[in-house]
Chains A and B, each alone.
Chain A
Amino acid sequence: MSTVKATRPLGQPSRLRRRIKPVKIASFTALLITTFLMLLPLFFMVSTSLKSKREMLKFPPTFLPESWAWSNYADIFETLQFGTLYKNSLIIAGFSVFGTLLSSALVAYGFARYRGRGNSFWFILLLSTMMLPYPAIMIPQFVLFSQMQWIDTFLPLIVPAFFGSAYNIFLLRQFFSTLPEELFDAGRIDGCGELRMWRTIALPLSAPALATVAIFAFIYSWNDLLTPVLYLSSSDKFTLPVGMASLTSSRFRIPPWHLLMVASVLAMVPIVTLFAIAQKQFVEGIVLTGIK
């Protein structure tokens, strides 16, 4: 160590040198390796999406495509009506997110702010609906919507979102009840009604929770396969998961994995974008709630 000290130029702070401890190097290397491992499937997905049909079948699989088949990205629009599927999925997911946010935030606000008789009873009743698996309500719901003539429309996929979702209500209620009572008192003194307090006090302060709910709602709707399969029957109304499932549906053919990977890469884009945006909101939300 003494030689190290001797060769150190004058005036150089020794702190710099001390910062790169072996422990740090080790932990940094470990992090790098983990990151690499986590990104590997993602990398392989992108790489497979650029392989030709023949190369896709090769074993051992090639790491990078031998010839870059960029045309796959054009082909998917022909084999799958990809544009239509994408548009449908976006419409349904957009309305679902809006509906879930609106209804869940309102109901959660009520549960968090009002102390009424039987409050906890209703809340437990609400939570117990989470225990019902979808297949249990699948057929009654289908009968209901088919009598309303909603089959083969987007309505059965969108309207239920406007009636709250137990999990998200629960999540928001817990967040709303952490908001300081003083804020609402101040609001009331200034003459706010409950709805206005909900809109101007509770909602802006709950950006992190709302962002979480939005992400949940979006991902749920974006990935949902069974509900669109049940309710939609015309191909031009299908959503992305339905179209993508059709690529692996034949038991008798080799699935076109390369095209499926193209579809997966493109389907991932909105989720990554939304997460990037919502993450920023998330941080801002914490900054704004400085009063905590």
Chain B
Amino acid sequence: MKNKMKSKRYALLLATALTGAAVLAGCGGGKSAGNVAAGDSGAGNTGGSGEQVTISHYTIDSEDRTFIEKLIPEFEKEHPNIKVKVEKAPYEQFDSKLQTLIAGGNSPDVTSHYGYGGFAEYYNKDMLLDLTDLIKEDGFKAEDYHIPENLMKIYTVNGHTYGIPVNMYVTLMLYNKDMFDAAGVSYPPSDYEDKSWTFDRMVEDAKKLTVVSDDIAKTQYGVDFTWAERDMRPLYFGAEPYSEDTWTNGGVPSETHFDSPEVIAAYQKLFDLVFKEKVSPTSEWSKSVAGQNGDPFVAGKIGMSVGGSWNLAGSNDFPFKVGVAAVPWGGNDKVRSTLFVDPLLILKDSKHPKEAFEWIKYLITTEVQEKSIELSGGNPPVNTEAAEVYYKHFDGIDPEDVKKVYEGAVKYGYESYNHLITNYSQINDMFINELQPVETGHKTLEEVMPVIQKKVTEIIQR
């Protein structure tokens, strides 16, 4: 009996060890899904005009994406030979499901880079269909859909078009009017041509708004400056960490300069907001105030918040009055705003690219783009005619301000690097990890940036 008890105990121990091993193995194996090449592409049936075909649109399972289901009945009425099916996945699983669908020979027809990976990653994995011939055959012209020509160029590589823009987010500043009123500070301007609106003036204003108190409920900060993804931020001050060829060859930089003095100085200026000027919150404070996915600005604890225009979509629910303003001038005369233009892409394994293209064209018509604003709860259209409706969408915010901010952002905008650089999900993860000790004040930029430079080079060569 005693022996049996003993063996049982060993068995339990072994079981624990094995479970542990399985868990560890699980962590290491996460990448394997992405490396599998696309499987068989099925019969090359392009679908004649009379025959009925079904195309699938793969998107994120959230209300601001799945609203397209409501557009389908109208489209199917106009195109009786095309049926549209929407396939969806939660954000976190978006990439794995897409990879699996493609590898399993069930590739969707239309999608966008809604997951962690950006356009360049899809392009370099050879997942995308070259739309150039389709466009020529169809006689598609961007101006018919009021899409600015410079936006079409974003998803054109070496003269070949791979994506049609559908939504355009920009970087803008949201400010808490109540907090400005209480501190007696004048509102920031929405006009990009107002030369007095500089980074330094923003810091001065922020100082007047900041209250640091032992009581966490009373503490508030002047500004939260989350301009673009971490690797892109030097650009705001005029420093360029990636070599020029990145933007023309499909997102593979031949050189990076993350350890250059200009880049380090740019990062230093941003971290000074937290540690020297003390007008921005530390990341720990933000997390404790706003929770995991949250934003301390929404909780009413931040005066000015620079970030993506998606923050506007929730503004009708904020418990305070909100205004929009231009991103201040930081030393770069050409770029002040990051653009996040989401394209619609046709996947290479699509069996019905022609019909998929019809669906894409439908989604960017002025009428549908206007309707989509309301249905999605405030997605910014790429169609400039529909944009007029978008500017009026937000309660209590002057449409004129939104318009000025948007037009200025496009004029002084640059497409977000996360869409343009290859292996970006890995670059971004690495940046988050490596900059962590700087954000908490445990390491200096001089220590960290050479490591980042080395790691970026490795990731790009993968």
Chain A residues near B (Cβ < 8 Å):
53-54, 57-60, 127, 130-136, 138-139, 142-143, 146, 151, 167, 170-171, 174, 177-178, 225-226, 229-230, 233, 235, 242, 245-255, 257, 292
Measured CB to CB, the nearest residue on chain A to B312 is: A252
Q: In the bound complex, how far is the Cα of B397 from the Cα of A230, in angstroms?
A: 41
Q: Are A146 and B25 in contact (CB under 8 A)?
A: no
Measured CB to CB, the nearest residue on chain A to B34 is: A135
Q: In the bound complex, how far is the Cα of B261 from the Cα of A196, in angstroms?
A: 79
10 residue pairs, one from A and one from B, having the closest CB atoms: A252-B310, A245-B90, A250-B62, A249-B62, A133-B29, A133-B26, A246-B61, A59-B299, A249-B91, A174-B11
B223 at the interface (CB under 8 A from A): no
Q: Are B310 and A251 in contact (CB under 8 A)?
A: yes
Q: Are B26 and A60 in contact (CB under 8 A)?
A: no
Q: Are B97 and A134 in contact (CB under 8 A)?
A: no
Q: Which of B176-184, B245-253, B313-321, B354-362 participates in binding chain A?
A: B313-321
Q: Are A142 and B11 in contact (CB under 8 A)?
A: no
**What distance in Å separates the Cβ of A169 from its nearest Cβ neighbour in chain B?**
11
Provide the residues of chain B in CB contact with A174, threshold 8 Å: 7-8, 11-12, 15
Q: Are B294 and A250 in contact (CB under 8 A)?
A: no
Known contacts: A53-B317, A170-B15, A226-B96. The answer to whether A254 contacts B298 by CB under 8 A is yes
Provide the residues of chain B in CB contact with A151, threshold 8 Å: 106
Measured CB to CB, the nearest residue on chain A to B93 is: A229
Known contacts: A142-B103, A250-B91. The answer to whether A54 contacts B96 by CB under 8 A is no
Q: Among B1, B15, B93, which residue has its beta carbon within 8 angstroms of that of A225?
A: B93
Other 8 A-B pairs with CB < 8 A, given A59-B289, A59-B296, A235-B88:
A59-B299, A229-B96, A229-B97, A249-B61, A250-B65, A251-B310, A252-B308, A252-B310
Provide the residues of chain B in CB contact with A245, threshold 8 Å: 61, 90-93
Q: Are B104 and A250 in contact (CB under 8 A)?
A: no
Q: Are B103 and A57 in contact (CB under 8 A)?
A: no
**What distance in Å separates the Cβ of B166 from its nearest Cβ neighbour in chain A?**
14
Q: Are B105 and A146 in contact (CB under 8 A)?
A: yes
Q: Among A58, A139, A242, which residue has its beta carbon within 8 angstroms of that of B90?
A: A242
Q: Among A133, A235, A248, which residue has its beta carbon within 8 angstroms of that of B25?
A: A133
**What distance in Å separates the Cβ of B27 from its nearest Cβ neighbour in chain A?**
8
Known contacts: A174-B11, A251-B91. The answer to whether A131 contacts B25 by CB under 8 A is yes
**What distance in Å separates the Cβ of A3 from its nearest Cβ neighbour in chain B?**
47
Q: Are B299 and A133 in contact (CB under 8 A)?
A: no
B238 at the interface (CB under 8 A from A): no
Q: In the bound complex, how far is the Cα of B107 from the Cα of A142, in angstroms?
A: 13
Within 257-304 of B, Cβ neighbours of A (below 8 Å) are at 289-291, 293-296, 298-301
Q: In the bound complex, how far is the Cα of B18 from the Cα of A58, in angstroms?
A: 44
Q: Are A130 and B22 in contact (CB under 8 A)?
A: yes
Within 1-45 of B, Cβ neighbours of A (below 8 Å) are at 1, 4, 7-8, 11-12, 15, 18-19, 21-22, 25-33, 36, 39
Q: In the bound complex, how far is the Cα of B22 from the Cα of A249, in angstroms?
A: 28
Within 66-101 of B, Cβ neighbours of A (below 8 Å) are at 85, 87-93, 96-97, 99-100
Q: Are A250 and B100 in contact (CB under 8 A)?
A: no
Chain B residues near A (Cβ < 8 Å):
1, 4, 7-8, 11-12, 15, 18-19, 21-22, 25-33, 36, 39, 60-65, 85, 87-93, 96-97, 99-100, 103-106, 169, 216-217, 289-291, 293-296, 298-301, 308, 310-311, 313-314, 317-319, 377
Provide the residues of chain A in CB contact with B296, threshold 8 Å: 59
**What distance in Å separates the Cβ of B217 from its nearest Cβ neighbour in chain A?**
5
Q: In the bound complex, how far is the Cα of B317 from the Cα of A257, in angstroms?
A: 14
Q: Are A146 and B104 in contact (CB under 8 A)?
A: yes
**What distance in Å separates the Cβ of A51 from its nearest Cβ neighbour in chain B?**
13
Q: Are B18 and A127 in contact (CB under 8 A)?
A: yes
- Main secondary structure, interface of B, reads helix
User: What are 19 A-B interface contacts by the 8 Å CB criterion?
Assistant: A54-B317, A57-B298, A58-B299, A130-B18, A130-B22, A135-B32, A135-B96, A136-B32, A138-B96, A167-B19, A174-B8, A229-B96, A235-B88, A248-B293, A249-B91, A252-B311, A253-B64, A254-B295, A255-B293
Known contacts: A248-B293, A249-B91, A254-B294. The answer to whether A230 contacts B96 by CB under 8 A is yes
Provide the residues of chain A in CB contact with B60, threshold 8 Å: 249-250
Most chain B CB atoms below 10 A, which of A135, A167, A246, A249: A249
Q: Are A57 and B317 in contact (CB under 8 A)?
A: yes
Known contacts: A230-B100, A250-B64, A252-B308. The answer to whether A139 contacts B36 by CB under 8 A is yes
Measured CB to CB, the nearest residue on chain A to B340 is: A252
Provide the residues of chain A in CB contact with B310, threshold 8 Å: 251-253
Q: In the bound complex, how far is the Cα of B291 from the Cα of A58, in angstroms?
A: 11
Most chain A CB atoms below 10 A, which of B90, B92, B216: B90
Measured CB to CB, the nearest residue on chain A to B11 is: A174
Q: Are B313 and A253 in contact (CB under 8 A)?
A: yes
Q: Are B61 and A242 in contact (CB under 8 A)?
A: yes
Q: Are A167 and B314 in contact (CB under 8 A)?
A: no
Q: In the bound complex, how far is the Cα of B26 from the Cα of A230, in angstroms?
A: 17
Provide the residues of chain B in CB contact with A177, threshold 8 Å: 4
Provide the residues of chain B in CB contact with A60, threshold 8 Å: 216-217
Q: Are A143 and B25 in contact (CB under 8 A)?
A: no
Most chain B CB atoms below 10 A, which of A58, A143, A151, A253: A253
**What distance in Å separates the Cβ of A246 from its nearest Cβ neighbour in chain B?**
4
Q: Are B103 and A143 in contact (CB under 8 A)?
A: yes
Measured CB to CB, the nearest residue on chain A to B104 is: A142
Measured CB to CB, the nearest residue on chain A to B63 is: A250
Q: Are A54 and B319 in contact (CB under 8 A)?
A: yes
Provide the residues of chain B in CB contact with A170, threshold 8 Å: 11, 15, 18
**What distance in Å separates the Cβ of A66 from its nearest Cβ neighbour in chain B?**
13
Provide the residues of chain B in CB contact with A135, threshold 8 Å: 26, 29-33, 96
Provide the residues of chain B in CB contact with A58, threshold 8 Å: 299, 319
Q: In the bound complex, how far is the Cα of B17 from the Cα of A127, in angstroms?
A: 12
Q: In the bound complex, how far is the Cα of B33 from the Cα of A136, in angstroms?
A: 7
Provide the residues of chain B in CB contact with A178, threshold 8 Å: 4, 8
Q: Are B64 and A146 in contact (CB under 8 A)?
A: no
Known contacts: A229-B97, A246-B61. The answer to whether A138 contacts B25 by CB under 8 A is no
Provide the residues of chain B in CB contact with A229, threshold 8 Å: 89-90, 93, 96-97
Measured CB to CB, the nearest residue on chain B to A59 is: B299
**What distance in Å separates the Cβ of A132 from its nearest Cβ neighbour in chain B?**
7
